[in-house]
Chains A and B, each alone.
Chain A
Amino acid sequence: MSTLNYDSVNEITEFFTRQAQPDYATQNAHIFKLDRRQFLKLTGIAGGGLMLGFALSRARAHADHVDFNPSGYIKIDSEGITLYAPNPEIGQGVKTSLPMIVAEELDADWTEIRVVQSEINPAAYGQQYAGGSTAIPSNYAKLRQAGATARAMLVQAAAEQWSVSPSTLSTELSQVLHAGTGQQLSYQELASMAATLPVPSSENVRLKDPKQFRLLGTRTTGVDNEALVRGEPLFGIDVSLPDMKYAIYQKCPAIGGTVQSANIEDIKKMRGVVDAFTLEGTGNGNDLLPGVAIIANSTWEAFQAKRALKIEWNETNAAKDSWSAARKEAARLAQEPATQIANNGDFDAAMSTGTATSRGFYEYHFVSHAPLEPQNCTAHYKGDSLELWAPTQTPSWAIPTAARLTGLEESQVTLHQMRCGGGFGRRLYNDFLFEAAAIARRSKNPVKLQWTREDDVRYDLFRAGGFHQMDGCVDDNGKVTGWRNRYIAFAPGGRPANSMSGGVFPGGLVENLRVEQTAINWAHRCAAWRAPGANVFAFVVQSFLDELAHAAQRDSLEVLLEVLGEPRSVGGGRRGRGMHTGRAVNVVKFAAEKAGWGKELPKSSGMGVAFYYSHAGHIAIVAEVSVGGEEDTVTNRSGENVIRRKLKVHNVTVASDVGPIINLSGAENQVEGSVIDALSTMMDLSITFENGRAEQTNFDKYRIMRASVSPAVEAHFIDTGEHSPTGLGEPVFPPLAPAVGNAIFAACGHRVRTLPISEEGFYLG
């Protein structure tokens, strides 16, 4: 078993898993406090406060004001209006949506604005990360405040210039207007004067009534769209520095193995190779694993040298993980009671009096994040400083470890956040960045570390697989009265990945409910993966609810609505982020109505419905599918014979309540993308392990869905005006798989209980 320390990996994972399941914290109130402490310890940075950068040099004179910070979100100078996007862009659209919030309150002309990715500055921006679908909810209020404050100062400047009351002035498209005289001044003209004014305190700044929003809620195209279609260098992998060299790093294929010996001298003689050396590793599974580094004059020469490497690994303490052995163990564990996480009512009594029961064993495989841009980082070590350029989701958290690995102070480390070619949670972990820092320390030149795709998959921090023995019952009226979820998790480093709680659906909704958890020890690193926990639990619980509906011979939609019940908060929720059954029922009914639930469908077609609450988002999905006839028999990854059947997903109707929408185009894109990502993942994505090694390491065997099998996707948003906006990068993912699985059952009577469903013979056509 691996002796790597996973504490740091697990802390990050658990932090983001709690974002997916806010109920987790409320059911265990002490955890939230602990979480806050861990968070600070993890990062070593305490930030926050209102930020407002405004005509920087002049405004510094007023730096005694408590609310003022000379680096922030807005700069107005001779070049125009610049807005700074603080959080990493990984495809979730925050480089556009966050500045939109500032621009709305500022009343700036969006078409004339320049948006710049901000530097890493905890004093100005607090924590800068992309994860947990938190960028919008955690920034919304302070970005509005920043925009409104700047607007108030510009209005005050104009009022003083014209000797009128500020209340007689209005703003529009980066202009201050005086209706009485028809005078107007641009923000640029007013900037220098505004910069000499005191920054008003927040209670003296009025925010807009959301009904007056002109920009928020519109379809606004991405600020980097033109640069992207021109192929301009935006991503981490595109960084190029004078005299830069190219590095690769070979680690043990079974994680945790160490270098016994390597043909370093032969490698050094290869054409294009500058240097090669062994690094020991720190024993921490989140920073530097042992391996051999090669520095070359080009990426391809580095790759060639990697192929020529001959390393004898010491695998005494390396992973011995075996998926097939884990499956056998899970089948055994499913028969035994496990540790009770929650036990409400009397499950056993409900089962003994229930009129119909259902029982199902669910299984889901490991998957890899596989962002399309393989991990990379450019690092320049100069003895007394380290400069890093990295596509990372947690730039704020990378600096302390990078400093430690290079023997520097944190103040000597600079990190530039680069656009990320996909994230999905992989880049919450900065192991690639730490490798680059450690390699750069041995190099006179700046180095760009490039992982191959095979490195990227093999050394991923995977979404853990898992197993659930589900049992439940309904009473005489067909009402769900008993529910037991016995969860067999994987535990890297002894701590279960994707830990379960009593709040997982239908916690608080079904009277007699028992949740049990046990775990299989595991060596490979597991981590947060888009909608952690929820991305697999939703499939299990929403599929099993459908099983119970069929056991009761009732309509699936009717049973789902009955379980949700009367409008109320369930579990309370943290920071107002709990699930509300009223919001849940609204989205379920809306999706069902839009999809035409109950309408006549062709033979071998069916509709399935599923709801899930995660990341403060209430999401319902209805999928319409058709299933082809039985074809040939094939052997699946687990060595079982299954009959192939073609699945076509025709329509996917998504109803989301995430409060008001910031950027409608971005929101629709997230819904479409989440549906396709979730469909791709449920169909055929699987990483299996034998002999401590991942068996799929590239897209030939890890087959991401192609365009031609895309369903039509309808995105609907419900905003009652009562809630503030929450994130949309993750919560649409979880309910897709059960909606499709339930539709398959409706179409052909086959209950899918395994992800990916190619394990049960289905393929997309």
Chain B
Amino acid sequence: MKINVNGATHDLGEINPRTPLLWVLRDHLSLFGTKYGCGISQCGACTVLLNGEAMKSCLYPVSAVGDAQVTTIEGVAAKDGTLTRLQQAWIDLDVAQCGYCQAGQIISAEALLRKNPTPTDDEIYAAMDPNLCRCGTYIRIHNAIKRVADENKSGQNGG
């Protein structure tokens, strides 16, 4: 079986097709940014992009990926390593505490902003409620997304 992750095609050989995408990423492809938190699609730590849509990968069988493009947190920055404005906002606003949920949070925010570059507060909440943060960094997560949304609104998107 083959899947496309972060722009590269990976041959998974004779993998059990029911293996959740999360564990394929972590154990087979050594992409550790996507996290295991609950295994029942409740916490969002395992969120990845599937053709640009946020998808929890802990219950998603690898066989269902097919030709879809999978993007993990490792594939969010540009190929040359340049961070997105969203990632930079996360750094500047010092969002993380333990940081464990933050990859999933950034992926969910990324999916939102790709569809809707200028979300309202309520639209941000609706998009982000699937992602738990046990440390309680919700206020900063919201502010980081808001910063990018505000930049998008005023057209100062820095390219």
Distance from A308 Cβ to chain B, minimum over Cβ atoms (Å): 14
CB atoms of A710 and B23 under 8 A apart: no
A225 and B28 alpha carbons, distance in the complex (Å): 26
CB atoms of A234 and B99 under 8 A apart: yes
The residues in A between 232 and 266 inclusive whose CB is less than 8 angstroms from any CB of B are: 232-235, 237-238, 240, 246
Chain A residues with Cβ below 8 Å from B27 are 246, 298-300
What 0/1 pattern do residues 118 to 158 of B give for CB contact below 8 A with A? 00001001101101111111111110000000000000000
Chain A residues with Cβ below 8 Å from B60 are none
User: How many interface contacts (CB-CB < 8 Å) are there between A and B?
Assistant: 187
21 A-B Cβ contacts within 8 A?
A: A224-B99, A228-B96, A237-B32, A300-B27, A372-B100, A373-B37, A373-B98, A420-B98, A421-B35, A422-B135, A453-B40, A666-B94, A672-B140, A673-B97, A673-B136, A676-B136, A676-B138, A698-B42, A706-B132, A707-B142, A713-B139
A677 and B98 alpha carbons, distance in the complex (Å): 13
A706 and B90 alpha carbons, distance in the complex (Å): 19
CB-contact partner of A665 in B36, B94, B134, under 8 A? B94
CB-contact partner of A222 in B37, B96, B100, B142, under 8 A? B96
What 0/1 pattern do residues 40 to 74 of B give for CB contact below 8 A with A? 10110100000000000000000000000000111
Chain B residues with Cβ below 8 Å from A680 are 136
Q: How large is the interface on A (under 10, 10 to 19, 20 to 34, 35 or more residues)?
A: 35 or more
CB atoms of A91 and B135 under 8 A apart: yes
A234 and B20 alpha carbons, distance in the complex (Å): 22
Distance from B12 Cβ to chain A, minimum over Cβ atoms (Å): 11
Query: Counting CB contacts under 8 A, is A213 at the interface?
Result: no
A198 and B30 alpha carbons, distance in the complex (Å): 47
CB atoms of A706 and B140 under 8 A apart: no
CB atoms of B100 and A235 under 8 A apart: yes
Q: How large is the interface on B (under 10, 10 to 19, 20 to 34, 35 or more residues)?
A: 35 or more
Query: Counting CB contacts under 8 A, is B1 at the interface?
Result: no
CB-contact partner of B137 in A299, A673, A698, A708, under 8 A? A673
Query: Counting CB contacts under 8 A, is A354 at the interface?
Result: no
CB-contact partner of B99 in A303, A421, A677, under 8 A? A421
Distance from A522 Cβ to chain B, minimum over Cβ atoms (Å): 25
Query: Counting CB contacts under 8 A, is A704 at the interface?
Result: yes
Chain B residues with Cβ below 8 Å from A373 are 35, 37, 98, 100
A233 and B136 alpha carbons, distance in the complex (Å): 22
Query: Counting CB contacts under 8 A, is B112 at the interface?
Result: no
CB-contact partner of A229 in B45, B83, B101, under 8 A? B83
What 0/1 pattern do residues 83 to 126 of B give for CB contact below 8 A with A? 10001001110111111111100100000000000000010011
CB within 8 Å of B: which residues of A? 89-93, 219, 221-222, 224-226, 228-235, 237-238, 240, 246, 271-272, 298-301, 303, 370-374, 419-424, 450, 452-453, 665-666, 669-670, 672-677, 680, 698-700, 704-708, 710, 712-713
CB closest chain-A residue, reference B103: A231
CB atoms of A453 and B38 under 8 A apart: yes
A686 and B97 alpha carbons, distance in the complex (Å): 24
A234 and B103 alpha carbons, distance in the complex (Å): 12
A372 and B98 alpha carbons, distance in the complex (Å): 9
CB-contact partner of B134 in A298, A370, A419, under 8 A? A370
CB atoms of A233 and B97 under 8 A apart: no
CB closest chain-B residue, reference A453: B38
A424 and B91 alpha carbons, distance in the complex (Å): 24
Could you say which of B20, B76, B128, B133 has the most chain A C-beta atoms within 10 Å of its C-beta? B133
CB atoms of B136 and A677 under 8 A apart: yes
CB atoms of A229 and B102 under 8 A apart: yes
A666 and B19 alpha carbons, distance in the complex (Å): 39
Chain A residues with Cβ below 8 Å from B94 are 219, 221-222, 225, 665-666, 669
CB atoms of B92 and A221 under 8 A apart: yes
Chain A residues with Cβ below 8 Å from B73 are 229-231
A423 and B98 alpha carbons, distance in the complex (Å): 8
CB atoms of A299 and B23 under 8 A apart: yes
CB-contact partner of B19 in A231, A232, A235, A300, under 8 A? A300
A665 and B97 alpha carbons, distance in the complex (Å): 11
A291 and B39 alpha carbons, distance in the complex (Å): 22
Chain B residues with Cβ below 8 Å from A424 are 134
A64 and B37 alpha carbons, distance in the complex (Å): 50
CB atoms of A228 and B99 under 8 A apart: yes
Chain A residues with Cβ below 8 Å from B38 are 453, 698-699
CB closest chain-A residue, reference B34: A231
CB atoms of A300 and B20 under 8 A apart: yes
Distance from B141 Cβ to chain A, minimum over Cβ atoms (Å): 7
A270 and B131 alpha carbons, distance in the complex (Å): 34
CB atoms of B45 and A372 under 8 A apart: yes
User: Which 7 pairs, one residue from A and one from B, show the smallest C-beta to C-beta distance?
Assistant: A231-B33, A676-B136, A91-B98, A421-B100, A231-B73, A708-B125, A91-B97
Could you say which of B19, B32, B94 has the most chain A C-beta atoms within 10 Å of its C-beta? B94
CB atoms of A229 and B137 under 8 A apart: no
A420 and B34 alpha carbons, distance in the complex (Å): 15
